[in-house]
Structure 1
């Protein structure tokens, strides 16, 4: 097995390991952002009368107070995503460092790499023209609106606080797909960005190759990662790009593609 083949196998393996990590990160984010359900339960208890029911006359005031709930959603989401992005970047950089040392006996200067990755992911504009904080605000707003709609209906119907708390949990559970989409997208973007920046920082490769990794999706051939993986932009082979070609960092939301170095001839 050539050194290039050996690295290809290592990067494929660690991409699979990162996929498992991402699943755990999704669970963490859903749990952390879901702390808002406890905040809402406390708020409902404060508004309820002795009979455990909230009077209609208090509805508008309660709905206005949901603004603080949305702020909590944003804060919990921001804290969770920042931690996830940093974790993915740290792991990717360390894995590249270990792979280069094991296969090529080469070291990697990792000074400031993690922060460079975090800064990029936090400030990148996606296809919708939004940065990370915008996407967190949008997700928080949608969840808050769904909860407000449910509470309005429950209060008008005269439901008990206990029933309202259960309904809020159901509403939240129905919106967790948005959190999953956000976490998978940002975690994988941090992972690919860290790989590419680490390779660019190294002495062993001037080029990288993007490997599409979603052949089970029925419309995979329409995904940007598939298109990039089959594009020969620079006449060096399909899927080969410069490490700073940022479109390979996040080809599309929830993309599971990964990046491998294309070794210089002297390292083959």
Structure 2
């Protein structure tokens, strides 16, 4: 109750939207843990089934001889599943974080009665911001590793730990059916039962995590919190009433740490834990943080007055005019603009800004009415399940795999250096296919631009 009271006091006239935002975020966090554990349970069930089938078919020795290969397959299965899961979580978290800005701004516009700005313009602008925020999550680095690298490392570690249990159990003469039950019990209940039932084997294995899915849970919680915060701050750029944020300390906080520092310091004379626009602290400061970062906005009646004055004379409020021209004016802004990314195309090969124009997908590779591109569109839908309706999933899938797939140099002309990247993608229909992408490093801009994409 104390947390709710502090949230209401901090947000005042827009507290109903702040409370809704917080409720949605907490619900996501709770369901996220359950869903992620279910995914690990499904994954280990797949491995257990492989072991039992190998035994039944008399191919157990072959399975053991090729265990390293199987572990690589299990790593990829878990990596693909966790990547898709986190992408979905980012979309939800970013949207939850940004919604308060659209609700506040739309309410002010409706009450002001102005005609120059519409609900549709605001919603489109927030949608664009959300897309950029989700993609930015995949392009952040932590200790030199992209998020996709960290997910792969986590998946590889989990597969290797399971592989260690399998190999040591077989060495001890444990029956394959019992091994299948053992690894499922480990993922579901932790290593405690293994320590009791197989003490000698556990001594040999040594350092085995108590909870195999814990690192993935921690990663998901931390990155989802970051996505929620980044979505809120990014969407603030389309809210002329946004002034900054306030850090509210979580009540579940028995030990003092950096969160107390952020919640107590008053750097700008605005009150404890309040930070000006453009000076927002990085959030979350540590894994599993449950503190709240809430936006601070000007009194909505004052914004309503400013909106009315701006419509009569844009020069009176240049901040609103700049926002309108940059983000809301439909004559200046295409709803389906492309995306520019600061990322490394290939480790050790290229290090350029990547330009991914969505029109390449929407009006060509996924367009069944395009004279030339229609065959590509049919192939994408049949092979992977990609259509115009889920083009963002294809774009994100390509960009994720781009960082860990080798590029082949194909030549240079007056326009720049050309490369092709063949990547194995898994689509929303659960199928896999090879997709060829072609890129050019523009000789004038030094930016890497997508020029072609099709199912191989």
* TM-score bin (small chain): 0.7 to 0.9
Match of 2:292 among 246, 258, 261: 258
How far, CA to CA, are the matches of 1:253 and 1:136 in structure 2?
A: 15
**CA deviation string 1:168-202 (max 9, x = no partner):** 11232331222221221122211111111222321
Aligned to 2:265: 231
Aligned to 2:76: 71
Aligned to 2:241: 204
Match status 1:98 vs 2:103: yes
Match of 1:23 among 30, 49, 64: 30
Which structure has the greater CA radius of gyration?
Answer: 2
Match status 1:217 vs 2:256: no
Greater relative contact order structure (CA < 8 Å, 6+ sep)? 1
Match status 1:81 vs 2:99: no
More strand by share: 2
Alpha carbons of structure 1 residues 2 and 35: separation in structure 2 relative to 1, 3 Å: closer
Contact 2:71 2:160 in 1 (8 A): no
Structure 2 unaligned residues grouped into runs of 5+: 1-7, 112-118, 189-210, 305-456
Contact 1:143 1:172 in 2 (8 A): no
Q: Secondary structure at the match of 1:34?
A: helix
Alpha carbons of structure 1 residues 203 and 50: separation in structure 2 relative to 1, 3 Å: closer
TM-score, normalised with respect to structure 1: 0.83
Farther-moved stretch of structure 1 (85-94 vs 70-79):
85-94
Match status 1:113 vs 2:135: no
Farther-moved stretch of structure 1 (83-92 vs 224-233):
224-233
TM-score, normalised with respect to structure 2: 0.51
Aligned to 1:179: 216
Alpha carbons of structure 1 residues 241 and 119: separation in structure 2 relative to 1, 3 Å: farther
CA RMSD in angstroms, aligned pairs only: 2.9
Following superposition, the deviation at residue 244 of structure 1 comes to 4.4
Match of 1:143 among 130, 149, 158: 158
How far, CA to CA, are the matches of 1:193 and 1:26 in structure 2?
A: 21
Structure 1 unaligned residues grouped into runs of 5+: none
Alpha carbons of structure 1 residues 217 and 129: separation in structure 2 relative to 1, 3 Å: farther
How far, CA to CA, are the matches of 1:182 and 1:163 in structure 2?
A: 31
Alpha carbons of structure 1 residues 120 and 132: separation in structure 2 relative to 1, 3 Å: same
Following superposition, the deviation at residue 42 of structure 1 comes to 3.6
Alpha carbons of structure 1 residues 59 and 2: separation in structure 2 relative to 1, 3 Å: closer
Alpha carbons of structure 1 residues 104 and 209: separation in structure 2 relative to 1, 3 Å: farther
Farther-moved stretch of structure 1 (156-165 vs 240-249):
240-249
Following superposition, the deviation at residue 80 of structure 1 comes to 0.7
Aligned to 1:249: 283
